[in-house]
Structure 1
């Protein structure tokens, strides 16, 4: 497995200023790790910004060294969390289901059942961006043999977007890389299109808008219907105020993302982490706008992963979650 690069680790004092009440509620720290990592994705994408942000928040609140790691995205995060190489990670429901079924390309045949659901994050819209100078304004405009960047290999985008494009009859050359790198390649004329699957606003798209004119391409109603029929996604609209380029909402499809935890982590530790993230949504939205959907009531968007018992306990107590016992992981 590719060794992940730790890009941010924040050591903090165990003396927590302004969080005395919270700390007092979690005095039982038996078995808690001395540090933790959160598997994110490539720099320039939403996973990295969102994941590094909540890792730092948890580190500060709980007084534990922690931070985000650059990874290959959801598929690799499932593997890292399953094996315990990362305590936490983030995934989308499609890659999660494939990982549980043993079809994760990182470790074919391995059923990654030791990665548990922790909390709902946000929906990942699938969107297409091209330079305005390309003349590409619709999916049908994409020329045969177009060089399309699909994100890091094994990411949600790379797993599903090529299949979606094939379903829509697009002929393309497949390219991979981090979102920031692909944005630079698009701007330099080395790519024709980038097919993003990331929480919006995607940092790489926002950066492109500052530097050049782009087209954010929506699906037609017919294209959206074809994708909805073929893939585990839902209808979605990218709001007009997401990007300066958009003048009206853009029709899209999306897939839910969840934070995940190694199932063997102490119940009290995971419950405390969930409490930090879910108890103050304004702090999360300040980290990334996509966190507007990181709300307790969205616990029911997980129909794939077993729940970590600490997370399940938090949602049952604080969100009235009706989580069946057979969906809560047990070491028994």
Structure 2
């Protein structure tokens, strides 16, 4: 689990609100990290942003950490190597069941739900010069980038394309690196599973002409019947390339916390994120869905007691048997 900590993302020792200062901090950690994913992806931008926000407001050194994504984040948070992380519901369910490929047989029950983030759409991008405008256009043996190994995209998108009858060669890597490979002609397609707008796609749009490929209604239904995803439209204003909404499917993302972290610390960190949606949206537009009303999108993980306390005080009704 090679991890790179970017000191530039860390924010140290700036005390925030009076409420935060008044907390009994005797059992709080001196610092924390948030497991994100690769550079160029939404997890990296979103996760680094909320890590810095919490660090600034609570006056604790903290920052985002590059990881392999949701599967690895579940493992890092379960073991306590990372205090916080980000995951999608599919990888979370597999990790709890003991089928996480990072540690087969280990039930990662020490990773708890913290707060709802956003939905991850599954979308496909190709260069306009490729002539690929639909899933059916993807040629047999196409080289497709699926993101970092073990990521949500890498876990589910290959299975989805196989379900749709696509024949391909699988490639892995960080989103920014795969974007460069697509531009250089080393890949035919990138299959993204990330909150939108995906930074790597936005960057590609600036540098070249791309096609953002939607599913047909039949393809969308076929995928929804076979996988734990729901209907989703990528809004037309997400990318300059789009002139109308693009049909997709999506999976919910949640922030996670090590279940043994002090209740008051997780309560305070949850309060920072959930009480200032405008600031979260300024970090990444996907945070428009980071609102208390979406607490009920978690049907997989037990809640951290500190997070559950905050949500139940703010309109949720998390049952006791769903709290760690």
The alignment partner of 1:3 has SS state of coil
Deviations 1:99-132 (A, max 9, x none): 0000000000000000000000000000000000
Query: Which residue is 1:221 aligned to?
Result: 217
Hey, what's the Cα distance between the residues in 2 that align with 1:323 and 1:103?
A: 26
Q: Deviations over 1:132-169 (max 9, x none)?
A: 00000000000000000000000000000000000000
Does residue 1:23 correspond to 2:20, yes or no? yes
Alignment of 1:1-332 (within 5 A): 2-8=1-7, 9-14=9-14, 16=15, 19-24=16-21, 26-318=22-314, 320-329=315-324
2 CA distance for matches of 1:281 and 1:39? 21
Measure, in 1, the Cα distance between the counterparts of 2:115 and 2:125.
Answer: 30
Distance 1:299 1:186 in 2: 37
Counterpart Cα distance in 1 of 2:60 and 2:13: 8
Structure 2 stretches lacking a partner, 5+ long: none
For normalisation by structure 1, the TM-score amounts to: 0.96
Provide the rounded CA distance (Å) in 1 between the counterparts of 2:213 and 2:48: 29
Separation in 1, partners of 2:179, 2:19: 41
Distance 2:63 2:72 in 1: 17
The 2-side partners of 1:202 and 1:84 are apart by 29
Question: Once the 2 structures are TM-superposed, how far is the Cα of residue 27 of structure 1 from its aligned partner?
Answer: 2.1
Structure 1 residue 11: deviation in Å? 4.1
Take 1:267 and 1:20, find their aligned partners in 2: how far apart are those partners?
A: 18
Gaps of 5+ in 1: none
Report the TM-score when normalising by structure 2: 0.98
Q: How many residues are matched?
A: 323
Distance 2:62 2:5 in 1: 10
CA displacement at 1:40 relative to structure 2: 0.1
CA distance in structure 2 between the aligned counterparts of 1:13 and 1:224, rounded to whole angstroms: 48
| Per-residue deviation, 1:22 | 3.2
| Contact kept? 2:11, 2:52, Cα under 8 Å | no
